[in-house]
Each structure stands twice: as structure tokens, then as C-alpha cells.
Amino acid sequence: MFGTLKKGDLHLRAVDRVTGQTRVRFALAPEDAVLVTELACGLPGCPPLETVVAFWTADGTRHRFKLFKPVAEVVEADLPPAWLRPALKAPEGYDEDCC
């Protein structure tokens, strides 16, 4: 389920920044979709807020990763290295609550 919608210029700029960094890091084409969202987690051991990034390439392949901090705190160095892209693919038939 989607978390509550955060409104605010700083949050939207952070989402745009992480989206752009993801596009550059993984050499995504303009038509590839990128989703950056911040989710709350109430489970023990979870950070209060985490950032989930998912992207779909033109062939329909879904990739995803989580960053265990709010989107406003994410820096470029937090993103996985480009060479890890194949490992970020969601396996066939994989279904998760988000992304």
C-alpha cells in the first residue's frame, strides 16, 4: 500500500534529484520509467522511513532497490553501483507489496 502523500517543495525536489541520479547511474533511456517513493515502516528493526526506487526498462524488466533513509537524506553515493544493475532485476513472477 502507498504511504501518505507528502507535499512540499523540498520533498519533491529530493524525489526529482534521486530520480535523475538513478537515470544517470544506470544509463536509463528517456522512455524508461523510474519510481522513487518514501515509505514508513512500523516493523521492529526497520528504519522509520525508507526510500524505494524502482525502474522499468523498455523491454519491461523491473529493477528495484531500497535505501534505508528518507529520500531527502539520500545522496548519490547511496545508490548501488552501476555494475550491480543485473542483480537488481526482479525475478520472474516476483511480487512484492511495493514496486
Q: Per the domain annotation, does 3 fall within a domain?
A: no
Q: What is the pLDDT of residues 42-96, one digit of tens each?
A: 888 888 999 999 999 999 999 999 999 999 999 999 999 999 999 999 876 666 5
Say if 40 falls within a structural domain. yes
| Owner of C-alpha cell 534521486 | 18
Instruction: Say how many domains are in the chain.
Output: 1
Evaluate whether residue 13 is within a structural domain: no
Q: Could you tell me the pTM of the whole model? A: 0.84
Q: Which H or E run contains 47? A: none
* 43 is a domain residue: yes
**Is 55 among the domain residues?**
yes
Assigned domain for 38 exists: yes
Residue 61 lies in a domain: yes
What range does the domain containing 40 cover?
Answer: 32-91
- Does residue 36 fall inside a structural domain? yes
Q: Could you tell me where the beta strands, DSSP code E, fall in 1-99? A: 33-40, 49-56, 62-67
